[in-house]
Amino acid sequence: MDHRPIGVFDSGLGGLTAVKKLMEVLPREDIVYLGDTGRVPYGSRSRETITKYAGQDAAFLAGLGVKAIVIACNTACSVALGAISAEYDMPVFGVVGPPAAEAVRLTSNKKIGIIGTVATVRSGAYVEALRMIAPDAEVWSAACPLFVPLVENGRASAGDIVVRAVAGEYLAPLRERGVDTLILGCTHYPLLRGVISEIMGPDVAIVDSGAVTAQRVARDLGEMDLLSGEGGRRRYFVTDSTEGFSELASIFLGLSVGGSVEQVTLE
């Protein structure tokens, strides 16, 4: 048994979609969330910059005495999971392995699509993870650079014509390939799930990377005897102003934000 909180970070607020699932599967755990809102998005930046930012995010959470770190950002995970795991003597969870395994479990025709940021797609992390589990699967990736800015600005409704036009263009090549399973390889994308599902069609299974990872975190921490079972408190930290945080964060969490929110500076 371990009463320390679980630390979760993302470049912005997208990682709250993973927190939402974590709260469902581990309601009695304390969670500390860091959203690097002052520097979002990471997905258009270089490997060096993403590695530096992700390292600072992890160090901040480690400094708060967390018992595990969840990198709830596909971009940071694709680039910096190895470095962060090597640095800390505690479990570090990434959001690429669990959804890759889930996609392989769900696909019937072995045609799997991945959407993510430019950096995630460029890293090849998903293709590599899928190749290791299912070498015979056909895998296609599409970068969707406008999705994160749209979502961070509260533009995610299926009826929004800008969102529809952008999603239609990004997803067309994956539809043409006939993928039957699509990994949302960015924790911001579950907010666009409605429009993505509509465009891909009802026969395409959608895999939410943060949600699948939350289940893995619950299972693994349980097996390691690292769960508390007595908490349930939430603390949120952001690197930009806290103004408007509750309103926007509640959209990602699907419920009103409880707990405290503070602005911090990362070194």
Q: Which residues are catalytic?
A: 73, 186
Q: Are strands 260-263 and 234-238 parallel, antiparallel or unpaired?
A: parallel
Please report whether residue 53 would count as binding ligand DGL according to CB under 6 A.
no
Query: Does position 113 bind ligand DGL by CB under 6 A?
Result: no
What six digits make up the tokens of 53? 């930012």
211 CB-near residues (< 8 Å, 6+ apart): 17, 18, 20, 21, 190
How many residues lie near ligand DGL (CB under 6 A)? 17
Q: Which stretch binds ligand DGL (CB under 6 A): 20-28, 51-59, 73-81, 155-163?
A: 73-81
Amino acid at 230: E
CB atoms within 10 A of CB 144: 26
By CB under 6 A, residue 40 contacts ligand DGL: yes
* Peptide bond before residue 190 is cis, with ω within 30 degrees of 0: no
By the rule CB under 6 A, 141 interacts with ligand DGL: no
For residue 228, how many other CB atoms are within 10 A of its CB? 18
Handedness of CA 87, 235, 217, 254 (dihedral sign): negative
Task: Give the position of tokens 């590599």.
Answer: 128
* Alpha helices in 64-160, H assignment, sequence order: 74-87, 97-106, 118-123, 125-133, 147-152
Beta carbon of residue 10, minimum distance to ligand DGL (angstroms, whole number): 5
Give the one residue of 5, 8, 9, 12 binding ligand DGL; rule: CB under 6 A. 12
Whether the Cβ atoms of residue 69 and residue 9 lie closer than 8 Å to each other: yes
120 in contact with ligand DGL (CB under 6 A):
yes
**Interface region with ligand DGL, contact rule CB under 6 A, candidates 10-18, 84-92, 128-136, 159-167:** 10-18
Residue 102 Cβ, how far from ligand DGL at the closest point, in Å? Answer: 16
Which residue from 73, 174, 221, 253 is in contact with ligand DGL, where contact means CB under 6 A? 73
Looking at 34-42, 61-69, 121-129, 160-168, which segment touches ligand DGL (CB under 6 A)?
34-42
Per CB under 6 A, the segment of 6-14, 23-31, 154-162, 174-182 that binds ligand DGL is 6-14
Where along the sequence are the contacts to ligand DGL (CB under 6 A)? 10-12, 14, 40-43, 73-75, 117, 120, 148, 186-188
